[in-house]
């Protein structure tokens, strides 16, 4: 139900069906696994922020224009990954609401 996303560095949900097609028990299992994965996101963001800080420090010392552009591009990509991770961190299926809908 989850597939590792190399860019983000975490597994992401890969549901084959709509959320409500799964039984309550399956949704609870998916949610539990997602909450475990989701709990690792702040640490992953911290790792990426460290990479950004190192690249910014290198950029401050860099005199070669092409190398500066490359570092800026890498910093932008890392910032984009962090943004996507925060979006995923805020994503949480509501199993309780699913129970109410199908009860």
DSSP string, 43-76: HHHHHHHHHHHHHHHHHHH---HHHHHHHHHHHH
11 and 88 in contact (C-beta within 8 Å)? Answer: no
Q: What pLDDT digit, counting tens, does each position of 64-89 carry?
A: 999 999 999 999 999 999 999 999 99
pTM of the model: 0.84
Q: Is the pLDDT of residue 98 over 60?
A: no
Q: Which residue in 9, 22, 20, 83 sits closest to 1, CA to CA?
A: 22
């Amino acid at each position: 139900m989850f597939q590792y996303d190399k860019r983000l560095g975490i597994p992401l949900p890969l549901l084959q069906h709509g959320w409500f097609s799964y039984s309550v028990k399956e949704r609870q299992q998916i949610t539990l696994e997602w909450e475990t994965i989701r709990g690792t996101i702040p640490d992953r963001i911290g790792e990426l922020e460290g990479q950004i800080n190192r690249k910014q420090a290198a950029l401050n010392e860099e005199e070669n224009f092409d190398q500066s552009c490359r570092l800026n591009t890498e910093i932008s990509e890392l910032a984009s990954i962090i943004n996507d991770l925060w979006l995923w961190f805020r994503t949480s299926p509501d199993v309780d609401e699913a129970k109410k809908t199908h009860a």
